[in-house]
Amino acid sequence: MLHKTRGVVLRAVRYGETSLVATVFTEDFGVQSYMVKGVRREGVRSPIRASHFQPASLLEMVATHHGRSGLQHIRECRWAPLLSELGRDIRKQSVALFMMELLQKCLRQPEPLPELFTFTHASLTTLDAGSHLLAANLPVFYALRLAQLLGFRLEIGYQESSPYLDLQEGAYLSTPPTHPHWADPAEGQWLDRFARCSDASTAAHLPMDREGRRKVLETCLRFLALHVADFGSLRSLPVLQELMD
């Protein structure tokens, strides 16, 4: 059965000589895998192109969805909108690739998550149009809000009397917990400030230096790793840390 839905491309791999298998986070069906036939065939002009399936592309699609696991098929697609800056700005591109890899780590089942989809779609369009300061702070803001939308919320409640953030429980404590999974007061205070931001544009104005941003982002990933099975490491992280200043 054919359905119209929006999607965010997470990744695409070659299949055979001329086709692709694309992993897409869709608005209506969650993460899905699609066979896209013939898009790598030379000399053939088609309304569906291989360039539609670059990571972080925002699409409107008409695709099959037959309600069972396995490959679906895309019949029509178009950019909605085309994120032109992500293709030209390597710093923004590194942030987008980090976001897509983070989603792949966290989204394992094909269940609809419309609020997370809307947040991701808005974050990518904001990144494309935003400043480099917004791009620098967006990974922390996105990782925190992603955790919240998946049900792993960090408590807002840093105080000088309770400055230690327990990453297992997501709560601030007056003394460090007995286990090793906690953030020191400096990182805990920054995470509290990010958690209080209403949107990415507000988070862009938090004045962090490169080292502080690196530590806080690593703490966000430690938090997610405690709550997402088989989270592992992110290949995009070293590149992101090198480019973000």
Q: What is the CATH number of the domain that holds 17?
A: 2.40.50.140
Number of domains in the chain: 2
202, containing H or E segment: helix 200-203
Q: Are 71 and 24 in contact (CB under 8 A)?
A: no
17 Cβ contact list (under 8 Å, min separation 6): 40, 41
Q: What is the pLDDT averaged over residues 214-234?
A: 95
Q: Are 228 and 106 in contact (CB under 8 A)?
A: yes
* Domain boundary, last residue among 82, 115, 136: 82
Together in a domain, 103 and 180: yes
Instruction: Convert the pLDDT of each residue in 42-64 to its tens digit.
Output: 655 678 888 899 999 999 999 98
On the 0-12 / 13-18 / 19+ scale of CB atoms within 10 A, 162 is middle
Residue 40: pLDDT band by 50, 70, 90 thresholds?
Answer: low
Question: At residue 37, does pLDDT exceed 90?
Answer: no
Together in a domain, 68 and 30: yes
Together in a domain, 73 and 89: no
Cross-strand bridge partners of residue 62? 4, 76
Instruction: Output the 3-class SS for 182-194.
Output: EECHHHHHHHHHH
Average pLDDT, the chain: 92
Instruction: Convert the pLDDT of each residue in 141-197 to its tens digit.
Output: 999 999 999 999 888 889 999 999 999 999 999 999 999 999 999 999 999 999 999
Together in a domain, 43 and 96: no
Q: Are 31 and 23 in contact (CB under 8 A)?
A: yes
Together in a domain, 125 and 160: yes
Domain that holds residue 14: 1-82
The pLDDT, as a whole number, for residue 15 is 87
